[in-house]
Structure 1
């Protein structure tokens, strides 16, 4: 920045944009201008990254003045960033827990978790994030503009699950990425919305919650839980193992894979591999003039033949599956995981739900885009193959 020039912040205060793959990018993560390749997380209009010397770096809506920018963009973007950050870091400083005026829990270091799931229904509510450690859940809500309403808190109390609210409403508009991360995970004000260890007396004082009967967990179910969480950790460290993801990327559909759904540990490969395997197969069939139908039944068979399913979790009894779903919000049967992914692609406009249950068809517009991408690729390969070989000397000069 030039000496004597004071940086100012634009009215938008939009520090985050949404990449083509659906993830959130901070302004410091992208190149300047329209080359940032981002869109507004709220209205989905294209963004331009403004990174000059006299203005705090920010995103702006391409082709629109600041006075015409959507008002919900900054709020939506910060909310999305906070959820993705917490899900990736799996660590959070918790608020103090006091019982009858005595502090029972006060942590300065982040509390570590084993897994996270975003916006998955739990009872009558959908928390922003559900964090899990061993066999315990913690619901996390982010307050960007509006605090958690009383009726939602009442529903949380009915579930009997601990819940925390983190207040992000006072974050500085020009905060760096590191400052934002520290605020979300460590420094921003946070409070207990509910904690089963404490209850409110009529006077408003906090008092120990009444003792509850503890049901012993079936040892076989406990072993299943440990095996599933271990499988999740294994898959999270895996690299891509097939050519499917690169083919999908070449087709212009990179945002259709790596979609986060529950059931991660039910597969022997990461989401990029099994999702690409299903989608590539459907695209190849459709472009060859055959059925491009995506069905959970056929997809399961395909993944089973590729050894991409963990046998133990694809052959659970109904009771075992129910017990795991109840204990682990991150668990889902492979069939449900495939269905959740297909529904996500429907929301992206790639697939269309069929009239038959658990079946989807590829949109004609999607097929046309893929057809054109493959034709361009085939043309470039043909040109490269027909190019003359460089002259090679057969002897000394």
Structure 2
């Protein structure tokens, strides 16, 4: 490693490489299916769905049509596939109306037709169709409660699958008898298709009772109509073995591991050893920060379990149980906890960010910490521990000038964390 290496610049190059590795123009073309004898209808939802649609248009040899739903500000111009923008992470009326139109497009298809479904992270909020008897307001209330609960993404999506007319395999069932091929950009730990956008085109082995157990576990307050749907079993999803899903294919075209490997190559090119700790780390963001601080300190002080200089990489999706009133996100909460755990240890820098460019509800991807992060904060009159307690890490890093902003990245393979130990 060169002694004049700029840690900030290196960490940002690694983050940019991770994002570039998961771009649709690179990932979609190798996975396109053979043309059908009938029509090709493209549908989808997620923060990357518009970019995915553009990649399909650019590489599909024949006629096609379709509609996909993406987050506000994430649209990409397409000629034959309509792009609709809607709200994330709390669904809105635009997403509701667009989802109804998606269902209408697939209802009249025949066995010679093919539905190409493009799904990425964010699809749970964007593909929004409450079950009969529920309202948009019910779904919004549930989403807000879930985001504050501390539940894992898998647990959140279990509940969502049992309250939706399209999730949990219901969208694929609506396409019957047409064949469905689903291309997924994974943003969930373990890359389970049932959890990516709550699995609109795959069978769901979980039940309403499973969803209720999660509600009880976290003390989640539910609207009366929502609780009735779960307790009555009326929200049961499409189960494995359902004949309407026979012959369907699901292909993961990009995942967190791919992004981590791209970042690792950047670090190796700079002469550093790289250790990928995992692509599916979960848990409370501040707890993960404490654990990784301990590992980084052991590397720095003892040369265990790795010798320095090196980079520790990880991905996955942490959670935040919101108890304060600040502006937070799971990546910046992780970083602030990491900084407190490191307590100014020399030679350790880190970057954490969401590969979609949005951490929490802020148009900020994440932030960077340096050995002097805490000292600079105290000089500005900031109290790092108090900011962490108030879930106010975005404001903390903005005050230091250490936020990382990318703008819409048009992809989403979850969180990226890099710790450089020199």
Check whether TM > 0.5: no
Short-chain TM bin: under 0.3
TM-score where L is the length of structure 2: 0.24
Using CA pairs under 8 Å that are at least 6 residues apart, name the structure with larger relative contact order, 1 or 2.
Answer: 2
TM-score where L is the length of structure 1: 0.25
